[in-house]
Amino acid sequence: MSRNRRTGRRSPLASVALLVIGLLATGGAYALVTSSATASTSAATEAKAEEGEKLFLANCASCHGIDAVGTTDAPNLIGVGAAAVDFQVGTGRMPMAASGPQAEIKPVQFTPAQVEALAVYVATLGPGPGIPSATLLASGNDIAKGAELFRINCAMCHNVGGAGGALTEGKFAPALKDIDPAHVYEAMVTGPQNMPVFNDLNITPQDKANIIAYLEYLNDNPAPGGYDLGGLGPVSEGLFVWIFALGGIVGVTVWLTSKAN
């Protein structure tokens, strides 16, 4: 040390000590800020979950049970995730107005904040699919691939143009025009009604976004060939030909014959 003082040089140990002190100070400040933000987020989530539980007990427990384990009238909700709640409640399908073959879309009974609270509460009951982020939903940049995937996985029920179609026992696949992209994604990952579940191994999140991009394209681009007859394909087109086209030909024939007579 005496030699360092005489030469005016700093000891190597001093540099190491300053570096350690700087790292400790930075780490401590980061940990303090992170823990504060985490605590704040946890408190907000807990408050929403409590509000959601109250809404659940008042509006849902009569069918799904107080503990959400299901009854003879409604399924178990443990593990369905926030996505299932956002889809079912956010589209007005739940709570159901009356029992039937399947829950149908109707005016939403809750505010967006209440729907979110219900979703947060059900998510605390068990792990399940979460609500997709806006960034993910907007990431669909391959409409052609989305159209191909839709034709392979969805068109047999929803029609290639997303016009919907009838199923068995009074059930149906709904039309997909002007549906919220988040609800389309949530339907794919939760499999409501008769719809199968398309997990990330079946269709990746990016490809789900591509399917949504295809549906958005259909919304923005009406049929270029003229009147699409509801977009129901050869059934409606053939019916139109048999009833109106052939009927018109028969009518003209009868008119010409009667005029000649």
Instruction: State pLDDT tens for residues 94-106.
Output: 998 888 888 899 9
Mean pLDDT along residues 224-243: 66
pLDDT digit string (tens) for 23-57?
666 766 665 555 544 445 588 889 999 999 999 99
The Cα–Cα gap between 35 and 41 comes to 10
What tokens were used for 203? 């269709």
Nearest Cα to Cα of residue 107 among 91, 83, 96: 91
Q: Is residue 85 within 8 Å of 119, Cβ to Cβ?
A: yes
The SS3 assignment for 125 reads: helix
Amino acid letter for position 255: W
Cis peptide preceding 12, ω within 30 of 0: no
Mean pLDDT along residues 196-218: 95
Q: What is the CA 115 to chain-centroid distance, rounded?
A: 14
